[in-house]
Amino acid sequence: MSADLSELYQQVILDHNRRPRNRGKLPTANRVAHGDNPTCGDQCNVYLRVDGDRIAEISFDGSGCAISQASASLMTTQLKGKTAIEAVKLYDEFHHIVTTGETPEDISDLAAFAGVHTFPARIKCATLGWHAALNALKGDEAPSTTESHID
Amino acid sequence: MLDSKKIRSDFPILHQQINGHPLVYLDNGATSQKPRAVIDALVRYYERDNSNVHRGLHALSMRATDGYEGARTRIAKFINAADPAEIIFTRGTTESINLVARSWAHAHLKSGDVILTTEMEHHSNLVPWQQAAKAAGATVRYIPVLGTDAEGGLDLAALDTLLTPQVKLFAFTHISNTLGTINPAAELCRRARAVGAITVIDAAQSIGHAPLDVRALGCDFLAFSGHKMCGPTGIGVLYGRQALLDKLAPDETGGGMVVNVTYESATWKPTPERHEAGTPHVAGAIGLAAACDYLDTIGREAIAAHDHTLAQLAMEKLSAIPGIRILGPRAGAERAGLVSFAFPDVHAHDIVTFADEDGLALRGGHHCNQPLMRKLGLTSTTRASFYFYNTADEIDLLVTSLRRIQKFFAGT
Ligand SMILES: Cc1ncc(COP(=O)(O)O)c(C=O)c1O
């Protein structure tokens, strides 16, 4: 396997792809958003329970490639407990990582996605869940039963 | 099988390394590669004959016009049209279908009418009909695809109830770009004619892969793209029976298609000019004619046989991979030269990225076929699609690569 490819499919990513964290609907969600990548058919729903201005709980479901699924999974572990402003800041950092390959020292597991930058077609896969999460944060308060939003 | 060594020497692009491996191009369903003969025809045109058509009386303009109209005649012969005037040059399949959807449907569709199509259509042969139906207050009906991944054929028994006199137009694909199904086009046209429906065949995947005869098929319209049959991009054809084309109002208007223009109104030339407003893709048409010549030198019967052999070989070898789900006709059954497949644990995009490492060009995604994917309970598949320059060895490379990918993602 080439260096670029093993950079892309890091152990952290493979692990989140095989054993996604916080996967499934969130029964107590009060925000939900759907993300679509029309070129490849990848889909991602992000469910949030926002408490005051903090993300108290977060989950995701959907289908897509290893990069998009692992990214959404890892994102849920990073966004829990964050405020909207902190979430946007973290996304900006993540976006910088996947587009440039540069990794700030204090960024933890998100750095695993640095390899994406050599595969420009895959950047959208890595950011799909993040877009959905930020949209959910911006969105209006939704009823806590979320089925009707995605079915 | 064809002498692939000799044939491959006609295609400059095939002789390159991708990520340190020889290119294995298995994305012919998306677009085919171009032989030297087609590339040369384009270069020759631009270096020697380039001019606008139908307008000038100077030497170059006459050469360009001769080249362009000669291409029309060549393509008419390629599909056995009765007259070159039945060949309208377009940008490709999509534009050809849209032309019919807008011009024909606009003039003929009424509220309550039905457009019949199938569940296996490419978005290009689906969305234009939805739009036409919406504009007219008509409805679109779909012939179901049989089984899930068992067969991939159309439910022809459903035709009895679906093909009613309300059906004004029946549009279907000759070959499914996702399933590899070859539809019984002549029979479908015959059935449609019996209820007075106009037929539109999407021949994007069949053109250049086997002999094609519009009169034997008995269709009213047929659409295809040059780029899938060794021709250039940006050029395609709408074939239409002359009687229909002459009555059809133009979709686009402008220069080249008018007889007499006043400040108040204009009159149209007969077909084909009336449907080709503006400066056409002269070089593209000439390149497409060169592609017809090239394909007929190889022989379309031989190409079809080669496609068939590769498809059967691929089915046999892919079926042996544990866990693989293959769409469309079963192993042993007739199918076009393409195979779509999915693995439960590895997404198509990851497969395509990994296969690219081995020099393989595959396609992953929904193949412009979202409703069918949804019906099959999938979001994407990986597709390998073949042409006459592909070899049995390349199928082995595909299988080896897939097994390696599967192993990697299984973590073993
Ligand atoms: C069955 C089918 N129809 C229509 C099209 C559209 O062709 P084009 O994009 O050249 O207009 C394609 C191309 O992928 C196809 O496979």
Q: Are A93 and A110 spatial neighbours (Cβ–Cβ below 8 Å)?
A: yes
Domain count, chain B: 2
The pLDDT, as a whole number, for residue B365 is: 87
Residue type at A127 in one-letter notation: T
In CATH, what number is assigned to the domain containing residue B371?
3.90.1150.10
Report the alpha-carbon distance of residue A68 to residue A53 in Å, rounded.
Answer: 26
Examine the domain organization and report whether B333 and B268 are in the same domain: no
A-chain residues within 8 Å CB-CB of B408? 1, 9
> What DSSP assignment string belongs to chain A?
--HHHHHHT-HHHHHHHHS-SSBS--TT-SEEEEEEETTTTEEEEEEEEEETTEEEEEEEEEE--HHHHHHHHHHHHHHTT-BHHHHHHHHHHHHHHHHH----TT-GGGGGGGGGGG-GGGHHHHHHHHHHHHHHHHSPP--S--HHHH-
pLDDT in tens, A120-131: 989 999 999 999
The pLDDT of B132-138, averaged and rounded, is 96
- What residue numbers bound the domain in which B217 lies? 40-296
Q: Note whether B393 and B2 are within 8 A (CB).
A: no
Quick: pLDDT tens for B18-30.
999 999 999 999 9
Q: How far apart are CA B59 and CA B266, in angstroms?
A: 30
Decide if B34 is inside a domain: no
CA atoms of B377 and B78, how far apart (whole Å) = 39
- Last residue of some domain: B269, B296, B323? B296
Contacts with B77 (C-beta within 8 Å, 6 or more apart), sequence order:
B292
Does B216 share its domain with B313?
no
d(CA B227, CA B225): 6
- The residue whose two tokens read 């959910």 is A136
Nearest atom within ligand 1 for CA of residue B175: 1
**Helices (runs of H) and strands (runs of E) counted in chain B:** 15, 17
Helix (H, G, I), strand (E, B) or coil at B365: strand
DSSP A109-131: GGGGGGGGGG-GGGHHHHHHHHH
Which of B245, B277, B296 delimits the end of a domain?
Answer: B296
Q: Is residue B263 part of a domain?
A: yes
Percent of chain B at pLDDT exceeding 90 = 89
Instruction: Give the mean pLDDT of B35-42.
Output: 98
Last residue of a domain, one of B280, B296, B312: B296
Q: What are phi and psi of A60, to 5 degrees?
A: -145, 155
Name residues whose C-beta falls within 8 Å of residue A135's C-beta, 6 or more positions apart in sequence.
Answer: A33, A35, A46
Token duo for residue B226: 């040059």
**B314 occurs within a structural domain:** yes
The CA B124 to ligand 1 mean position distance, Å, reads 6
How many Å lie between the centroid of ligand 1 and the Cα of residue A45? Answer: 31
Same domain as B212, residue B113: yes
Structural domain contains residue B194: yes
B33 falls within a domain: no
Task: Give the residue from A17, A40, A73, A118 with the most B CB atoms within 10 Å of its CB, the best one to mutate.
Answer: A40
Percent of chain A at pLDDT exceeding 70: 91
Report the C-alpha gap between A23 and A69 in whole angstroms: 10
Q: Which chain A residues have a beta carbon less than 8 Å from that of B343?
A: none
Q: How far apart are CA A49 and CA B269, in angstroms?
A: 65
Q: Look up residue B137 and give its two tokens.
A: 């207050």
Residue the block writes with tokens 């497409």: B288
Chain B residues in contact with A119 (beta carbon < 8 A)? 353
Tell me what ipTM this predicted complex has: 0.82
Same domain, B277 and B344: no
**Hey, what are A41's tokens?**
């058919």
Beta bridge partners of B172: B201
Query: Are both B310 and B195 inside the same structural domain?
Result: no
Question: How far is residue B361's CA from residue B279's CA, in Å, rounded to a whole number?
Answer: 35
pLDDT digits (tens, 9 = 90+) for B358-374: 999 999 988 888 899 88
- The H or E element that residue B130 is part of is helix B127-136
Beta carbons within 8 Å of A95's beta carbon, 6+ residues apart: A127, A130
Best mutation site among B32, B99, B177, B381 for ligand 1 pocket (most ligand atoms within 8 Å of CB): B177
Residue A140: per-residue pLDDT? 57
**Which position has the token pair 């009823």?**
A143
Instruction: Determine the distance separating the centroid of ligand 1 and the alpha carbon of B281, expressed in angstroms.
Output: 19
Q: How far apart are CA B333 and CA B377, in angstroms?
A: 23
- Give how far Cα B392 sits from Cα of A83, B14, B15, B355, Å: 57, 16, 17, 17
Separation of A137 CA from ligand 1 center, angstroms? 39
Q: Where is A42: in which H helix or E strand?
A: strand A42-51
Instruction: With a cut of 90, say whether residue B287 has pLDDT above it.
Output: yes
Per-residue pLDDT tens over the stretch B60-96: 999 999 999 999 999 999 999 999 999 999 999 999 9
Q: Please choose, from the candidates B32, B23, B404, the residue with its C-alpha nearest in 3D space to the C-alpha of residue B227.
A: B32
pLDDT per residue as tens digits for the range B249-260: 999 999 999 999
Residue of B27, B118, B122 with the most ligand 1 atoms within 8 Å of its CB, for mutation = B122
Overall average pLDDT of the A16-38 stretch: 92
Query: Which CATH code of 3.90.1010.10, 3.40.190.170, 3.40.50.300, 3.30.420.240 fits the domain covering A3-141?
Result: 3.90.1010.10
Half-sphere exposure of B144 (CA within 13 A, CB side): 11
**Residue B85 Cα, gap to closest chain A Cα (Å):** 37
Residues A65, B349: C-beta atoms closer than 8 Å: yes
Residue B10 and residue B49 in one domain: no
Cβ pair B325, B149 in contact under 8 A: yes
Q: Residue A101: how many CB atoms within 10 A of its CB?
A: 15
- State pTM to two decimals: 0.93
* Catalytic center residues of B: 368
Do B143 and B67 belong together in one domain? yes
Continuous segment of H or E residues that includes residue B89:
strand B87-90
Phi, psi of B222 (to 5 degrees): -150, 135
State residue B220's pLDDT score: 98
CB half-sphere exposure, A28, CA atoms < 13 A: 7
Here the CATH number for the domain that contains residue B145 is: 3.40.640.10
List chain B residues with CB under 8 Å of A2: 19, 357
- C-alpha distances (whole Å) from B278 to each of A150, B54, B237, B251 are 46, 11, 16, 12
Q: Looking at residue A145, what is its pLDDT? A: 33
Residues B145 and B265 in one domain: yes
| Residue from B99, B31, B90, B135 nearest B278 by CA | B90
- What average pLDDT score do residues B133-141 get? 97
Tokens of B204: 């994007």
Q: Give the chain B residue nearest A13 (alpha carbons).
A: B409
State whether B330 and B238 are in the same domain: no
* In contact, A30 and A55? CB cutoff 8 Å: no
Same domain? For B128 and B180 the reply is: yes
